[in-house]
Amino acid sequence: MPTDAPLQPADQATKVPVTVLTGFLGSGKTTLLNRILTEEHGKRIAVIENEFGEIGIDDALVVDTEEEIFEMNNGCICCTVRGDLIRVLGTLMRRRDRFDHILIETTGLADPAPVAQTFFVDDEIAGQLRLDAILTLVDARHLGRHLDDAKPEGVENEAVEQIAFADRIVLNKTDLVDEAELDEVIGRIRAINRVAEILPAQYAKIDLGKVLDVGAFDLERALDVDPSFLTDGEHQHDLTVSSVGIELTGDLSIPKLNDWLGELLSTKGADIFRSKGVLAVAGQQNRYVFQGVHMLFEGIDGQPWGNTARVSRLVFIGRNLDRAALETGLRRCLASAR
Amino acid sequence: MSVISPGGARPSAVDPDIAEKLRGWIRSALDLDEEVTVLVAQLACAEPGCPPVETVLAALPAAGRRSVTLPGPAARLTESDVRRAFHLCGETHAH
């Protein structure tokens, strides 16, 4: 096991925020993109797009790319990045003075993981850019069909993955469904991802302040989630991809955490799409905050606990998650546990 | 600072000066100009058979990506290591 310290985020304020926009064809990505590029929000946005057939956008810095998956380490899922993205980001950063924000529009079928991992793996990118949020657009009328789309064994359902990875979900075209259908589609989204904020919309009209510069990957905001999620007793065991939130009072032991998290991420990391946590570590005055994408993991010391209760909170979103095993595993990390 | 270091592949930051030196060596070994993107990443992979730390070096031109994975941390690599690796076993990927 490596013993080097976790990555320390550099000066976040000076890094260019990057929004990753995912969603199927027809979900309204182009409409949202046009709104982002034309509305008065004071930001100059560079767009990287790789979806063929999209319309051109005037007065914007738009770069076309082709999807190029780069498996850096024998197909290991955690070491898979987007070569095209690294290249185009490198080119863009030579024109750093021309924009304040980068928006990456992925194809409807793109796997969000290599895109997200690109920001963790390449030091040069990590030093200049920060992944701000993964924003997923879904079509209220057709989402159910995409989620139910049967895939051959071993092939991922991209709609499920895009929801699982999302920090914000724009539920678009709500005018095309009635209230009952809307409730149903929200329920299906929540069954996969209990953490992401859902923004209902028509014609992709949303408050852009809720999707741009939101700091969803900032470690200091690692667990700004609805507390009810963590204590919610309703668990849907039949779902392949779901969310598990755990809350635990009591101080945790670093060696035990290292063993548990190390084992968990190395054996189940391929199935854990996103993880976030704020931990109370024995002997430490500050919160320990972390987050991960598959096996990639970074953590830092956060704010002091002060007078607040030292309660650890973790969230996992992934495939075939075993809530009971995760809860037991964390409980065994308590410093007081035998 | 509490040091939590779970296993599983994850990057560990390469000293920026070392990374810059390595990028220069990659460009020199493959005769690439400054416009070509090169990548230096240090990985700690817990998969069976992987060394505790390995360094991935890659050149990402618009066509014909080349990459090598070398055991050990980036700081230990020499220019001749980089040159030899790319000339002997650099994987080339057309795309």
Q: All domains of chain A, ordered by start, with CATH? A: 14-225 (3.40.50.300), 241-331 (3.30.1220.10)
Residue A115: the pLDDT is 87
pLDDT tens-place values along chain A, 338 residues long:
333 333 344 466 788 999 999 988 788 888 898 888 888 778 888 888 764 433 434 344 556 556 677 776 665 666 778 888 888 888 888 888 888 999 998 877 677 888 888 888 777 888 889 999 999 999 999 998 888 887 777 677 888 989 999 999 999 999 999 999 999 999 999 999 988 999 999 999 999 999 998 888 876 665 565 545 555 544 454 458 888 989 999 999 988 988 898 888 878 888 898 888 889 999 999 988 888 888 777 788 888 999 999 999 888 999 889 999 999 999 999 999 87
The Cα of B85 is separated from the nearest Cα of chain A by a number of Å equal to 15
Query: Contact at 8 Å (CB) between A274 and A164?
Result: yes
Closest B-chain CA to A83: B60
Specify the residue for token string 């890659």: B58
Q: Give the count of beta carbons closer than 10 Å to the beta carbon of residue A74.
A: 11
Nearest to A79 among B9, B19, B95 (CB): B9
Instruction: List Cβ neighbours of A205 (8 Å cut-off, separation of 6 or more).
Output: A35
The reply to whether residue B4 touches residue A266, judged by beta carbons under 8 angstroms, is no
**pLDDT tens, position by position, B25-65:** 999 999 998 888 898 888 876 666 667 788 889 998 877 88
Q: Which residues of B touch A1 (CB under 8 A)?
A: 5-7, 46, 52
- ipTM comes to 0.75
SS3 content of chain B, % helix, strand, coil (to 5): 30, 30, 40
The Cα of A335 is separated from the nearest Cα of chain B by a number of Å equal to 14
Hey, of A68, A271, A297, which one would you mutate to test binding to chain B, going by the most B CBs within 10 A of its CB? A297
The encoded tokens of residue A195 equal: 């953490």
Query: Contact at 8 Å (CB) between A290 and A298?
Result: yes
The reply to whether residue B8 touches residue A266, judged by beta carbons under 8 angstroms, is yes
The encoded tokens of residue A208 equal: 């852009």
Region class of A48: left (phi > 0), else alpha (psi between -120 and 50), else beta: beta
**CA angle in degrees (0–180, nearest 5) for A152-A158-A75:** 75
Q: Give the count of beta carbons closer than 10 Å to the beta carbon of residue B24.
A: 14
Q: Give the count of beta carbons closer than 10 Å to the beta carbon of residue A242.
A: 22
**pLDDT tens, position by position, A86-96:** 888 888 888 88
Residue A74: the pLDDT is 60
**pLDDT tens, position by position, A312-334:** 988 899 988 999 999 999 999 99
Element (H, E) at A317: strand A311-319
A120 touches chain B (CB under 8 A): yes
Specify the residue for token string 């990590």: A126
Q: Which residues of B touch A79 (CB under 8 A)?
A: 9, 43, 45, 56
